[in-house]
Amino acid sequence: MRHLKHNHLLGVKKQHRSALLANIGSALIIHGQISTTLAKAKAVRPFVEKIITFAKKSEGAKPEVALHYSRLAMARLRNKNAVKVLFNDKVSEFTNRQGGYTRIYKLGTRIGDAAEMALIQLISADDEGYSSNKRKKKVSIKEQNKKISVKEEKTDNAEATNPVEEISETKAAE
């Protein structure tokens, strides 16, 4: 069974799709960002990220292993210049990043055929991305009442064991 085996088909045959991804991927690596349709951008993201992973694996490896990974990247990208740029220049940007090497921005629709356009770009390791706005967790009324009762108990205990009051009470009694 081929359940959960879906990939981005893009409405073309396998050979056309592999050539299309190779061309878009090599342009992305050389230029750093490209504008394309949203479907193609979503299809090229895992393709490029796997090739960047090859480059990262080859960076500190033996020469034979590095050659193996560069040949794997060359077989997929089909562009010697793009592989050279990635393995020699750009791989240092991704060494400290644990995945997520690309970012997709939606640009709106194209005038001619109303296709959704997107900008896909490579992200360097020092890019922090979006700041996460964590929402405060909603506290139920029961939990609020428990917190209030705990605070009241602490203040009652603190008043009973306050040494300053005990000293002043003993002096007043004398």
Q: For 124-158, how does the pLDDT look when each residue is reduced to its tens digit (9 = 90+)?
A: 777 877 666 767 777 777 777 777 777 677 666 65
Domain 14-122 has CATH 3.50.50.60: no
- What is the length of the chain? 174
Whose CA is closest to 100, among 73, 77, 76, 129?
129
Write the pLDDT tens digit of every residue in 82-128: 999 999 999 999 988 889 999 999 999 999 999 999 999 999 777 87
Checking if the pLDDT of 165 tops 70, the result is no
Domain definitions of the chain by residue range: 14-122, 141-173
Amino acid letter for position 135: R
Return the higher-pLDDT residue of 144 and 22. Answer: 22
pLDDT at 132: 66
Question: Are the C-beta atoms of residues 79 and 26 closer than 8 Å to each other?
Answer: yes
pLDDT over 80 at 166, yes or no: no
